[in-house]
Amino acid sequence: MKSFIKKQIMSFAYALQGASFLIRSEPHARFHIAVSLAVAALGFYCDLSRLEWCLLIIAVMAVFVTEVLNTAIEVLADAVSPGYNPLVGRAKDVAAAAVLFAAVGAVFIGLLIFGGHFPALF
């Protein structure tokens, strides 16, 4: 049983190391954090419903998950092919597009949610 618990703790520690690497190495991740905090503050100000919070959290998590996967793909691609490789470049571009799509979707979700609260903002 001790071994199982130790493995779980180590898995959590490795995940935190990954999150730390992401935040330290990726300016876009820090930007996403700042925007997420601003959105959360605006959400509290607008007194969002439970459903609105759920939708915002899903949108924010979609952006973070794609950013994490994009970073993982970039790091792995650089390890496998340190020199220029057009296929690796294409894979990195496609991974970055996933982040872009998630971010654009999150913006639209935010506009739909906060648009209904627009009079409360002024």
What's the pLDDT band for 121 if we cut at 50, 70, 90? low
Residue pointed to by tokens 């935010």: 110
Nearest-angstrom CA–CA distance, 32 and 19: 13
Residue positions annotated with a catalytic role: 67
pLDDT at 119 over 90: no
What's the pLDDT band for 122 if we cut at 50, 70, 90? low
Q: Determine which helix (DSSP H) or strand (DSSP E) holds 87, and give its type and residue range.
A: helix 86-115
Percentage, residues of the chain above pLDDT 90: 88
pLDDT in tens, 28-50: 999 999 999 999 999 999 999 99
pLDDT at 73 over 80: yes
What's the pLDDT band for 26 if we cut at 50, 70, 90? very high
| Domain annotation for the chain: domains and CATH numbers | 27-121 (1.10.287.3610)
